[in-house]
Amino acid sequence: MNNPQLNKKGELQHLLSTEGLPASIIRNILDRATSFVATAEGDEIKRVPLLHGKSVFNIFFENSTRTRTTFEIAAKRLAADVVNLNIGSSSTSKGETLLDTVDNLCAMHADMFVVRHAQSGAAHLIAQHVAPEVHVVNAGDGRHAHPTQALLDMFTIRHYKKEFHNLRVAIVGDILHSRVARSQIHALTTLGVPEVRVIAPKTLLPSMVEKLGVRVYHDMQEGLRDVDVVMMLRLQNERMQGALLPSAQEYFKYYGLTQEKLALAKEDAIVMHPGPMNRGVEIDSSVADGSNSVILPQVTFGIAVRMAVMSMLAGAK
Amino acid sequence: MKIHIKNGRLIDPRNQIDAQCDAFIADKRIAAIGVPPEGFVADQVIDASGLIVIPGLVDAAARLREPGYEYKATLESEMAAAVAGGVTSLACPPDTDPPLDEPGLVEMLKHRARSLSLCRVFPVGALTRGLEGCELTEMAELTDAGCKAFSQADAPLTDTRVLLRAMQYAATFGYSVWLRPQDSFIAKDGVAHDGEVATRLGLPSIPVVAETIALSTMLHLARETGARLHVCRLSSAAGVELVRAAKREGLALTCDVSMNHIHLSEMDIGFFNANCRLSPPLRSLRDRAALRAGLLDGTIDIICSNHSPVDEDAKQLPFAEAEAGATGMELLLPLVLKWAEQDGMPLLEAMKLVTVNPAQLLGQKVGYLSVGAHADICIFDPEATWVVEPAALKSQGKNSPFLGYEVRGRVRYTLVEGQVAYQA
């Protein structure tokens, strides 16, 4: 099967998923992002005009503040023209299909789409549909993938841990519904992390998750023992419906990250979270704001990583 | 009209014939096999040299989309597709709009189908009013209007008391009840098999227990009521095992599988191929192997096309939003031939599953070539290959998981009631 995100020369054509992304391309993105970090962290906003004259359309069929904003900042720092469209769920009720919307925007000469959609596979559908000179970045599709989040997580891990081949990483929480978790797992295993653990109750794990190359833990204390990285996931409030969980209180007691549980991990373990956090549901405030937390640097790195992805797609050297 | 079909290899499973022999048709019926009747003068001679002559196929599940979904397909387009696929009789499920729950609707459908005089259409009536799973339909009236069985199609029937009573009532008159086993609570919102692929792609899933729970319920109720149960669209290894055990114990039931499920698996979804969005979902390779084993040992009686034409727009959507279904009648013969070849099933045996077995299920005197039988015949070239592509299909539905596949087996003539209904 052809990898739909690479062109015939094996270069990145779209960023749809971390699955099937060669390690060399991931490393390239991380290296390139390193060169942007100074730019991203600088007091004055430096512009690297690699996308000058290009139009980037952020089309968000699902609400998001953080991801859309960081994409917007990243595109602007690359000197692209940025158009934000918050389409929400209303456009489908007006009768316009996803591909109609995309066709209309293509007619406005979009060079790149950054897409978020509630359905798994939406970004693939758009990527198959657009002309070959148009690039698609998946900013989250259903439960499937959120590759830029995973890449910024890899950047963060590399920043603090330097290497991947000697790490034990635990991903904790709602794996079943999480596109972030899926993308993290593929990125971590591709980069050679020898042990990726997932920690969750059975109702929040997809079937045969071990086929993705992870070890499954239901007991958080056991799962956190001696890990180098703890990646927490957001727990949506609606999970209390549909008989997935009894209550947020019980969830926090057994799967919330507290100082006591974190103490089981390595002393220098880093704690990550893709945001937005539910303090007191999946993570205790003292951990979120504590010395092991790298949650805010993740956000900063996110801009650099998204600059790297967009400039690489645009073919800029 | 007298027709002489000469030089063909004639395969008739019911009469256990697989031989080079001619067929003679007169007055809409088979007049003779082998030797012409005395004084027979043909008006038309069909040279079937190198071709295979079989009873017209009987498709146990083909949606024609009328009434109500004419934007997806019409009787004209789908009956043309039927005869192009060598299908001379088909059973259409009741999930039209409105559903086939009133005698008037069934009569209208029969009338429309008859006026087109292409293939035979046997409506399957709704088991409950509006397929809503609450009240029984007038099954006896519907039978008088032409229904051959009763079904919920893919609509859920969650209230087991209603199901018990529907089966009791059907059993009173000896009607056949066709049910697709799927627990609607467990399957809620699911679009793919609960396994490796759904996990990888992040698709809401349907576990195998959704099938086995519903199937167990049906089997218990069939034992209890004595209703004639036909299990539709089996999809899992565990489901095959339940049916096998029930048959071994002596329960009189039949069951079918769609041609898609004996060739494809969840792996074919690839990167969200909406043409593989089917109901029931494509399951694992292990399940596919079990379905094939079930065909070989007779656990599964029938292969159907589960023909469900879908309009193009309904497939140009993210996988979970795409409508389930695929066109199929024109692929039924090639895909059954492909399966028979792969699994070493003699054609004489394989053809049972698409002729005499579904005909028996419908209680119709079709699907065989005895003297005096309806002259419903399919003549095909077993060596001709063709590529499945939209332009090659008569069906208004152009969506198929097999698009781009090269298949072997091409229908050359389809005769219905002694008339050539299709020729290529």
A95-131 confidence digits (pLDDT tens): 678 898 899 888 989 999 999 999 999 999 999 999 9
Contact list in B for residue A99 (CB cut-off 8 A) is 316
pLDDT tens, residue by residue, B199-239:
999 999 999 999 999 999 999 999 999 999 999 999 999 99
Predicted confidence band of residue B111 (pLDDT cuts 50, 70, 90): very high
Residues 6 or more apart whose CB falls under 8 angstroms from that of B206 comprise B182, B186, B187, B190, B191, B192, B193, B194, B280, B281
- The answer to whether B312 faces chain A, any CB pair under 8 Å, is no
pLDDT tens, residue by residue, B44-80:
999 999 999 999 999 999 999 999 999 999 999 999 9
Mean pLDDT of the B93-107 span: 97
pLDDT tens, residue by residue, A178-226:
999 999 999 999 999 999 999 999 999 999 999 999 999 999 999 999 9
Query: Is B28 contained in some domain?
Result: no
Q: Give the number of domains in chain B.
A: 1
Beta strands per DSSP E along A32-183: 55-60, 81-86, 112-117, 135-141, 168-172
Contact list in B for residue A19 (CB cut-off 8 A) is 200
Q: Identify the residue among A14, A125, A141 best suited for mutation to test binding to B, counting B beta carbons within 10 A and taking the highest.
A: A125
Interface touch A208/B270, C-beta < 8 Å = no
A/B interface, count of CB pairs below 8 Å:
71
Mean pLDDT of the B324-341 span: 98
What is the percentage of chain A residues whose pLDDT exceeds 90? 78
- The answer to whether B116 faces chain A, any CB pair under 8 Å, is no
- The answer to whether B313 faces chain A, any CB pair under 8 Å, is yes
Does residue A12 sit in helix, strand or coil? strand
Mean pLDDT of the A276-283 span: 94
Residue B98 has a pLDDT of 97
Contact list in A for residue B313 (CB cut-off 8 A) is 97
Does residue B374 sit in helix, strand or coil? strand
Please count the other Cβ atoms lying within 10 Å of the Cβ belonging to residue B271. 20
Query: Is B39 contained in some domain?
Result: no
Query: Is B306 contained in some domain?
Result: yes
Predicted confidence band of residue A317 (pLDDT cuts 50, 70, 90): very low
Domains recognised in chain A with CATH numbers: 23-146+299-313 (3.40.50.1370), 147-297 (3.40.50.1370)
Residue A65 has a pLDDT of 83
Residue A92 has a pLDDT of 55
Mean pLDDT of the B273-283 span: 98
Using an 8 Å Cβ cutoff, are B230 and B170 in contact?
A: no
Q: Which residue is associated with the tokens 């070493």? A: B344
The half-sphere exposure of B27 on its side-chain side, counting CA atoms within 13 A, is: 7
Q: How far apart are CA A180 and CA A129, in angstroms?
A: 25
Instruction: Report the candidate in B410, B417, B419 with the shortest Cα–Cα distance to residue B86.
Output: B410
Q: How far apart are CA B75 and CA B310, in angstroms?
A: 14
Q: What is the ipTM of this complex?
A: 0.94
Query: Is B82 contained in some domain?
Result: yes
Residue A93 has pLDDT above 80, yes or no: no
Helix, strand, coil shares of chain B as percentages rounded to 5?
35, 25, 40
Residue A85 has a pLDDT of 85
Q: For the domain that residue B202 is a member of, what is the CATH number?
A: 3.20.20.140
Predicted confidence band of residue A91 (pLDDT cuts 50, 70, 90): low
Residue B181 has pLDDT above 60, yes or no: yes
Residue A146 has pLDDT above 70, yes or no: yes
Predicted confidence band of residue B421 (pLDDT cuts 50, 70, 90): very high
Q: Identify the residue among A92, A126, A144, A180 best suited for mutation to test binding to B, counting B beta carbons within 10 A and taking the highest.
A: A144
Minimal Cα distance from A119: which residue of B? Answer: B318
Query: Is B307 contained in some domain?
Result: yes
- Would you state the torsion angle of the CA atoms of residues A7, A10, A13, A17, taken in this order, to the nearest 10 degrees? 120
pLDDT tens, residue by residue, B362-403:
999 999 999 999 999 999 999 999 999 999 999 999 999 999
Beta strands per DSSP E along B82-128: 87-92, 120-126
Query: Is B23 contained in some domain?
Result: no
Interface touch B200/A212, C-beta < 8 Å = yes
Å between A214 CA and nearest CA of chain B: 13
In angstroms, the Cα distances linking B324 to B154, B276, B280, B306, B307 are 11, 8, 9, 11, 11
Query: Is B33 contained in some domain?
Result: no
Does residue B319 sit in helix, strand or coil? coil
Contact list in A for residue B318 (CB cut-off 8 A) is 98, 117, 119-122, 125, 141-142
Is there a cis peptide before residue A276, judged by omega within 30 degrees of 0?
Answer: yes
Q: How far apart are CA B356 and CA A264, in angstroms?
A: 68
pLDDT tens, residue by residue, B258-269:
999 999 999 999
Query: Is B388 contained in some domain?
Result: no
What is the percentage of chain B residues whose pLDDT exceeds 90? 99
pLDDT tens, residue by residue, A28-49:
999 999 988 876 665 455 678 9
Q: How far apart are CA B371 and CA B365, in angstroms?
A: 12
Mean pLDDT of the B87-112 span: 97
Residue A38 has a pLDDT of 72
Boundaries of domain holding B296: 55-362
Average pLDDT value over all residues in chain A? 92
